[in-house]
């Protein structure tokens, strides 16, 4: 069965510092995709970054990078130079082949950025 | 990126009434849309996969007779919460995948609908 685990219910970071949000997953599917989404208090889901299971390089999108360790089945999100606007819930999600590419989500991590 | 809208954004209804939530893909055709429910301070739970022109596929534990899904066109899926009760109060979010987008098969999310049942 597929499963996504985020073990940090809450994290805080000082403005301009970097922070790592943890995500581990479990699947027997050889082909899968890993996503990170940000959800501010407004509720909208904002796509941040994607990593495919066959991608050789770690994904990067601006201040976001994904530390993909396939053997460990982890896909941690690194946010560099944190900003006050980064305060939000962050969800890791996995898409697996079959089943219309549906996503399953982790429990989420609430990030608070302090000035 | 592609845009997905939801209507209404917020609805309050009396217990026992039915509520319809619309999800539209504004600039692409979506053969598949997804409906999620999110309780306060919890994660998104997939309720069902909505397929244009065919029956929705419900996740285990989701009552298909209570949560009616209709995917009438390539740009519109509706979720009807029938005979709503206070325990149905939640944040409902839809998403859609643009099949024309290659690469990561990103899902685009609607802004969500907050349902409160009194």
Q: DSSP labels for A86-109?
A: G-EEEEEEEEESSGGG-EEE---E
CA distances from A79 to A16, A45, A69, B26 (A): 10, 17, 17, 31
What average pLDDT does this structure show over B69-80? 92
Is A88:A40 a contact under the CB 8 Å cutoff?
yes
CA distances from B74 to A51, B26, B56, B57 (A): 28, 10, 14, 17
Question: B88 in helix, strand or coil?
Answer: helix
Q: For residue A100, list chain B residues with Cβ-Cβ distance below 8 A.
A: 32, 34, 49, 51, 57
Q: Is A104 an interface residue toward B (CB < 8 Å)? A: yes
pLDDT band of residue B51 (cuts 50, 70, 90) is confident
Residues in chain A: 115
Which residue, B84, B109, B99, B100, is CA-closest to B4?
B109
> pLDDT at position B104, please?
64
> pLDDT at position A79, please?
98
Q: For residue A45, list chain B residues with Cβ-Cβ distance below 8 A.
A: 44, 93, 95, 109
> pLDDT at position A29, please?
87
Summarize pLDDT for A47-72 with one digit per residue, the tens: 999 999 999 999 999 999 999 999 99
> pLDDT at position B31, please?
84
Nearest CB neighbour to B112, from listed A43, A99, A105: A43
> pLDDT at position B1, please?
67
- Least confident range from B32-36, B50-54, B55-59: namely B50-54
For residues B111 and A88, give the distance between their C-alpha atoms in angstroms, rounded to a whole number: 15
Which residues share a beta bridge with A109?
Answer: A90
For residues A31 and B44, give the distance between their C-alpha atoms in angstroms, rounded to a whole number: 22
CA gyration radius for chain B? Answer: 14
What average pLDDT does this structure show over B83-98? 94
State how far residue A49 is from chain B, nearest Cα, in angstroms.
9
Which residue, A113, A89, A81, is CA-closest to A6?
A89
> pLDDT at position A99, please?
59
The DSSP symbol for B86 reads: G
| Residue-averaged pLDDT of chain B | 91
Positions in chain A whose pLDDT score sits under 70: 98-100
């Amino acid at each position: 069965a597929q499963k996504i685990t985020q073990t940090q219910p809450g994290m805080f970071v000082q403005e301009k510092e970097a922070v790592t949000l943890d995500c581990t997953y479990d699947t027997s599917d050889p082909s899968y995709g890993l996503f990170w989404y940000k959800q501010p208090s407004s509720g909208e889901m904002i796509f941040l970054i994607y990593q495919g299971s066959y991608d050789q390089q770690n994904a990067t999108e601006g201040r976001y990078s994904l530390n993909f360790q396939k053997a460990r089945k982890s896909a941690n999100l690194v946010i560099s130079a944190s900003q006050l606007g980064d305060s939000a819930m962050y969800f890791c999600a996995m898409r697996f082949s079959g089943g219309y590419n549906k996503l399953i989500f982790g429990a989420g991590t609430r990030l608070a950025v302090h000035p | 990126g592609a845009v997905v809208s939801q209507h209404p954004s917020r609805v309050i209804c009396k217990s026992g009434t039915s509520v319809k939530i619309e999800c539209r893909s504004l600039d692409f055709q979506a053969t598949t849309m997804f409906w999620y429910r999110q309780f306060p301070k919890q994660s998104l739970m997939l309720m069902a996969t909505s397929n244009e022109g065919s029956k929705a596929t419900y996740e285990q534990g989701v009552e298909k007779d209570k949560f009616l899904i209709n995917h009438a066109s390539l740009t519109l899926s509706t979720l009807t919460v029938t005979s709503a009760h206070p325990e149905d109060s939640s944040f409902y979010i839809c998403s859609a995948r643009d099949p024309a987008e290659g690469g990561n098969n990103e899902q685009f999310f609607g802004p969500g609908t907050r349902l409160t049942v009194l």
